[in-house]
Structures are given as C-alpha cells and as structure tokens.
Amino acid sequence: MEKTVQLYEGKAKKVFATTDPALVIVSYKDDATALDGLKKGTIVGKGAINNRMSNHIMQLLEKQGVPTHFVAEINDRETVVKKVSIVPLEVIIRNISAGSFAKRYGVEEGIVFSEPTIEFSYKNDDLHDPLINDYHAIALGLATREEIETIKKMAFKVNEVMKEYFKGLGVTLVDFKLEFGRLDDGSIVLADEISPDTCRFWDSKTNEKLDKDRFRRDMGGVEDAYKEMMRRVFGE
C-alpha cells in the first residue's frame, strides 16, 4: 500500500490517498489543540500512542460486531483505513458529568448518570462545532433519520464495550467523542479515532485524569498520562 497525495491536514492527523481509491492512510501527529483551536502545543509521543490505542480498540469493537474503518496498522504512526465520507457530526456519549456538560448545566464533575447520554455537535470549524439535535441535522441534510438511528445504536454499543474493557484496566470511561462515515455502499462505519484525545479516562481508584484534560487545563503530567494509558492497554 503506497501513500500518494496528501488529501487533508487536520489538527491531529494527516490523511493521504493511496494507490487503492477505497483506502486512505492516516498519519497521527504529536500536535495538540484545545479550546476551539486557541490553545496549541505538542504532546511528545502522542501520535504513536493514539494510533496504536485507537487501532486496538477498533479491532476489539469489530470483534463485538461494530463495523469500523480499520484495515491495517503500517507503523507506529500510520494506519490504513477505509476511505469514508464523514458524517459531519461529533457524537458524544457521557457516563459521568464533566467538561462542557458540567459547565452548561452548572453541575460539578463526577455525577454518575443513571443511564448514558448522547448528544451531537455539527462538525463545522467556522461555526465552532455548535450543539445540534437530530431534527436539525436532518433538516440540514447532514444525515438521514435512518443513519442517525444507526449511529445512536452503534454509539451506545461502543460505550458498553469500552466501559467494560476499560473497567478491566482500572480506568473509568467518563465520556468520549465518536465520528462515523459512509462507505460507497451507503453503510455506516465507525471512523476517526478513539484515544486519550477523544475520551475522558479517570483512574478507577484515585479519579486521576489520564487524558487530554491535563493539556486543556494546564495540569502538567500530560505525556505521563498518555504513557500510563498505553501501559494499561499494552502493558508497556
């Protein structure tokens, strides 16, 4: 599989075309952004950690019947994935209050919900990824009702699989963001990444933050938190 032209450079990854039109190669960077792009920095080693962790989780999800874009890991930073047309929605599942939820509703972080929640943001940098509901997403033609129902089912299933998996590693899955895409046949698959950039992970015993919140909130120990998640997942 050969990389050809660069199709896109995002905040955390580059996407390359390949000799196969159905496949692209994603290349994970150490660059980190937060606060709607206002805060920029580098988290040394993040690219490799996110690449490997994301691939590991996607394979676990495939085994549990969740279709994903994953095809093959090429090296520490690069992975071949199925090229999809991204549904421009950030799909956020929450098990425990944190981040924008706590801020918006004026509650503390750490409230364990009686059942998981789902919300959508419209992936649009110019509009700063505003919160959107499913009716508005359909009105804007971002997805069909059927696609949204499929996405909801898949997102809750991902939550169940991941919650159990991370519990076994002594990690509480607080919340996370998913992206979905359409293959040529119109079917929906899980795309993008699942990593400490896109999930909130708290140590089950101490509630210590093991994710990008350490970068967002200038808490220090950012690299160590990513390395600790790597150690829990791969034992290294």
Annotate each residue in 129-158 with x if it binds ligand UDP (CB under 6 A) or - if it does not, as one string: x-----------------------------
Which whole-number Å values give the CA distances from 39 to 72, 140, 200, 224, in the listed order? 32, 30, 18, 20
Q: 38 by DSSP, 3-state: which?
A: coil
Closest listed residue to residue 213, CA positions, set 155, 162, 157, 174 = 174
* Interaction between residue 13 and ligand ADP (CB under 6 A): yes
List of residues 6+ apart from 53 with CB closer than 8 A: 194, 195, 196, 229, 230, 233
Pick 1 or 107: Cβ nearer ligand UDP:
107
Q: 39 by DSSP, 3-state: which?
A: strand
Contact 181, 69 (CB under 8 A): yes
Task: Name the CA dihedral angle for 119, 122, 123, 125, rounded to a multiple of 10 degrees.
Answer: -120
Helices (H) and strands (E) counted in the chain, each on its own, are 6, 14
CB under 5 to 8 A by kind: which of ligand ADP, ligand UDP, none does 77 bind? none
* Interaction between residue 77 and ligand UDP (CB under 6 A): no
* Interaction between residue 145 and ligand ADP (CB under 6 A): no
* Interaction between residue 186 and ligand ADP (CB under 6 A): no
Annotate each residue in 164-203 with x if it binds ligand UDP (CB under 6 A) or - if it does not, as one string: -----------xxx--------------------xxx---
Q: 178 by DSSP, 3-state: which?
A: strand
List of residues 6+ apart from 5 with CB closer than 8 A: 16, 17
Please identify the residue of the shown chain whose CB is closest to the bound ligand ADP: 10
> How remote is the C-alpha of 51 from its chain's centroid?
11
Pick 143 or 155: Cβ nearer ligand UDP:
155
* Interaction between residue 92 and ligand UDP (CB under 6 A): yes
Q: Which of 120, 176, 181, 212 binds ligand ADP (CB under 6 A)?
A: 181
Q: Which stretch binds ligand ADP (CB under 6 A): 82-90, 150-158, 161-169, 223-231?
A: 82-90
- In angstroms, rounded to a whole number, what is the distance separating the alpha carbons of residues 57 and 193? 9
Residues from 98 through 127 that contact ligand UDP (CB under 6 A): 98-101
* Interaction between residue 192 and ligand ADP (CB under 6 A): yes
CB under 5 to 8 A by kind: which of ligand UDP, ligand ADP, none does 175 bind? ligand UDP
* Interaction between residue 71 and ligand ADP (CB under 6 A): no
Positions touching ligand UDP (CB under 6 A) are 90, 92, 98-101, 129, 175-177, 198-200, 212
